[in-house]
Amino acid sequence: MSQSRKDTKIYVEIVNELRLMIERKNLKPGDKLPSERELSERLNVGRSSVREALRALELLGLIETRRGEGTYIRDYGGHQLVQLLSTFILQDENAKRDIIETKYLIELDCLWLNLHKSSDGQLQEFKSWAETAHYTDDEFFLKVVRLTENHLFLRMWIILKDYYNSLQLDQIATSKEEYVQLIDMLITRNESLIRNAYKSLRKLSKN
């Protein structure tokens, strides 16, 4: 630990320290962090302060702890975080509308990105997968979002998807033909066609 422990709470400093450590050592998901006792010694803080920092990160889903083994960096998915936050803050009705609206628009953005950035080969491959495989709506659009290679959209979409599913909306059935057609529209590289195809797939009238 570096400076005055007056201004900032120690556990917050530890969180930052961990972040730096991960960056410096270029630690990836699955890698092991130092033990609580070692961190406590290295940073000259009490073990309980270290634990407060670790527990917070754990609740965020950023790390994973296994008794007897150690603490590991986790592949961030956002699952438990979303669940926690949704029960805490997702009461008002506007939030619900925001989630639906935002998820749809981001999906549309990703389609648009693919329309501009994906190669014909990628789209053809995607199409043959869509024609043969079994998949849910989430799985289909996960592929769409992944294809954009935009990690930001990926993170946001995953979170939104979890929120969306926690809303328990009525599921609208989508046929395989509709998914395939959506990809066909991508291949045409026509912006308004893809927009309409998506709207129709989502059974949207104007919004």
Contact flag: residue 186 with a copy of itself (CB under 8 A): no
Nearer to DNA by C-beta: 49 or 148? 49
Closest by CA to 147, choosing from 119, 178, 176, is: 119
CA 194 – CA 112 distance, rounded (Å): 8
Q: Does 44 bind DNA (CB under 7 A)?
A: yes
Among 35, 83, 86, 150, the residue binding DNA under the rule CB under 7 A is: 35
Does residue 102 touch a copy of itself according to CB under 8 A? Answer: yes
Helix (H, G, I), strand (E, B) or coil at 6: coil
Q: Residue 6 interacts with DNA (CB under 7 A)? A: yes
The CA distance from 172 to 189, in Å, is 27
The answer to whether 13 and 49 are in contact (CB under 8 A) is no
d(CA 10, CA 204): 50
CA distance 177 to 59: 41
Distances in Å between the Cα of 32 and the Cα atoms of 26, 65, 132, 155 are 12, 10, 40, 23
Rounded to whole angstroms, how far apart are CA atoms 135 and 133?
6
Ranges within 52-111 binding DNA (CB under 7 A):
52, 54, 65-71
Number of residues in contact with DNA under rule CB under 7 A: 27
Kindly state whether residue 46 participates in binding DNA, applying the rule CB under 7 A.
yes
Residue 37 sits in the site that holds DNA (CB under 7 A): yes
| Contacts to a copy of itself from residues 107-166, by CB under 8 A | 108-109, 112-113, 116, 149-153, 155-156, 160
Q: Strand pairing partners for 145? A: none
CB 73, CB 33: distance < 8 Å: yes
Nearer to DNA, 69 or 149 (CB): 69
CB of 91 to DNA, least distance (A): 23
Report the C-alpha gap between 111 and 201 in whole angstroms: 13
Q: Rule CB under 7 A: is residue 11 a binding residue for DNA?
A: yes
What residue ranges bind a copy of itself (CB under 8 A)?
11-12, 15, 19, 22-23, 48, 51-53, 55-60, 62, 76, 78, 84-85, 87-92, 94-95, 97-99, 101-102, 105-106, 108-109, 112-113, 116, 149-153, 155-156, 160, 192, 206-207
What residue ranges bind DNA (CB under 7 A)?
5-6, 9-11, 33, 35-38, 40, 44-49, 51-52, 54, 65-71
